[in-house]
Structure 1
Amino acid sequence: MSTTHTEPRPPVLHLDQVSRVHGHGAAEVHALRGVELVVHPGELVAVMGPSGSGKSTLLTLAGGLDSPTSGRVLVEGAVLGELSRKQQAQVRRRSVGYVFQDYNLIPALTAAENISLPRELDGVSGRTARREALAALEELGIPELADRFPDDMSGGQQQRVAIARALIGDRRLVLADEPTGALDSTTGEAVLAVLRARCDAGAAAMMVTHEARHAAWADRVVFLRDGRLVDQSVSRDAASLLVAAATNSVKGPGE
């Protein structure tokens, strides 16, 4: 009787001993120190840690928005540092969806236009890109915002539009920096459910969060402190216990 072996799927994201140093001499700051992290298809990874631990730096490097001082960042097997700027931009448009803390919406474009712009830049027809944008808005529960400009939206509405932009098309990697920060608890849970569904459908995602209840949606929770990856859970069931343990470990005396 023959036995079928399933080959492990290659990672969507691999941070290979990544370090990032800002400044020089006395002003030198080690934002990340030798971080080794792999994120596979279907996996949602939550990143936690105290302020200044390197969480946002980790995301900007993973998305190719900054370059490591040492180490390598691979997205779907491509080493970002070995690509031209044009090739890196193509990877970001086609494979990576990024949710910024400050949303980064273009004020002169409507919600639907902001969402569809990356697709149009990649050669998708305007009609198809708008149809995809409307579907993304529907998925986030805000179809009525399609023709509204950012200045006519609340902060929470802008955040959901930014999330829709990150999810449009076949994004294999979604990076989210505090994606529920401007949302009420009910809307935040709905957004996390959408992100979870995308991962369950085969995408990979990494989100920075300071909320243990949000980290509980993840398959793994990784903890950064002083630029180092100091701990991580191994399953979604262990997440809440690990969150509590790590939170206690990073508190200083009297906190």
Structure 2
Amino acid sequence: MSPILKLDAVSRVHGEGATEVHALRAVSFAAHPGELVAVMGPSGSGKSTLLTLAGGLDAPTSGTVSVEGADLATLGAKGRARMRRTSIGYVFQDFNLIPALSAAENVALPLELDGASGRTARKAARAALDEVGIGDLWQRFPDEMSGGQQQRIAIARAIVGERRLILADEPTGALDTETGEEILALLRARCDAGAAGVMVTHEARHAAWADRVVFLRDGVVVDESGTDPVETLLASGHPR
């Protein structure tokens, strides 16, 4: 089965000379349909860099990033933007919501930008908000909602429409334990339905929802497990 996301020998270097930082070093990585992959590692290990490259928000210094067989570098800025509106859902750590738009309008925006009618986009947005448990708050603005509710809006925006790749950077960071588990179950269900998911997390109990765990350190993949990921990570002495 062809992967939805593929990184082939990807490196990302920031700065140059004395300030040069190797965020990723020749990382090869793939996520397939139906698969949820957890990415773990200490701060500064390259986890968030991997996600920004996978979502076409940044470009690798070397190597290739492909989504559904398309090399993101060859698509140009407009092509990458279109892919983010249609195929890639991204849950940011800081939510990236637009304060002047309601919850439903924030979620509907990618669909409307891609040409969907306002009515169709809002209907899909309200369905996504129902799915994350805040359908009754669709008219509220982000600054009228708690951090956890804002996080749910961000997740609804990432799953609205037919997203084939869902990228989540600490998707349960602003949520209580029970709500976090509900969101992880939702991501798991989306992958079981055929999407590919990549989730950055510091929590071993969250990684337990994944089919596979990839562990990064200093921009390099140092471990990978697919059978009992949490047990393997803890047994090998990796931090949570």
Which TM-score bucket, shorter chain as reference? over 0.9
Are positions 1:242 and 2:235 aligned together?
no
Contact 1:96 1:175 in 2 (8 A): yes
Q: Aligned pairs, how many?
A: 240
Are positions 1:18 and 2:10 aligned together?
yes
Counterpart for residue 69 of structure 1: 61
1:193-250 C-alpha deviation (Å, 9 max, x unpaired): 0000000000000000001000000000000000001111123xx112122134x246
1:13-66 C-alpha deviation (Å, 9 max, x unpaired): 000000000000000000000000011000000000000000000000000000
Match of 2:214 among 218, 222, 225: 222
Q: Structure 2: which 5+ residue stretches go unaligned?
A: none
Instruction: Report the 3-state secondary structure (helix = DSSP H, G, I; strand = E; otherwise coil) of the residue aligned with 2:8.
Output: strand
Instruction: Report the 3-state secondary structure (helix = DSSP H, G, I; strand = E; otherwise coil) of the residue aligned with 1:160.
Output: helix
Note the 1:1-255 alignment, pairs <5 A: 9-235=1-227, 238-246=228-236, 248-249=237-238
Contact 1:18 1:68 in 2 (8 A): yes
Q: Structure 1: which 5+ residue stretches go unaligned?
A: 1-8
Q: Which amino acid aligns with 1:84?
A: G
Superposition deviation, residue 85 in structure 1: 1.1
Separation of aligned partners in 1, 2:32 and 2:235: 25
TM-score (norm 1): 0.92
Separation of aligned partners in 1, 2:161 and 2:180: 22
Separation of aligned partners in 2, 1:250 and 1:137: 34
Contact 1:192 1:217 in 2 (8 A): yes
Q: What RMSD, in angstroms, separates the aligned Cα atoms of the two structures?
A: 1.0
Separation of aligned partners in 2, 1:87 and 1:249: 38
Instruction: Report the 3-state secondary structure (helix = DSSP H, G, I; strand = E; otherwise coil) of the residue aligned with 2:58.
Output: coil
Q: Which amino acid aligns with 1:222?
A: V
TM-score (norm 2): 0.98
Separation of aligned partners in 2, 1:134 and 1:61: 29
Instruction: Report the 3-state secondary structure (helix = DSSP H, G, I; strand = E; otherwise coil) of the residue aligned with 1:84.
Output: helix
Separation of aligned partners in 2, 1:210 and 1:249: 11
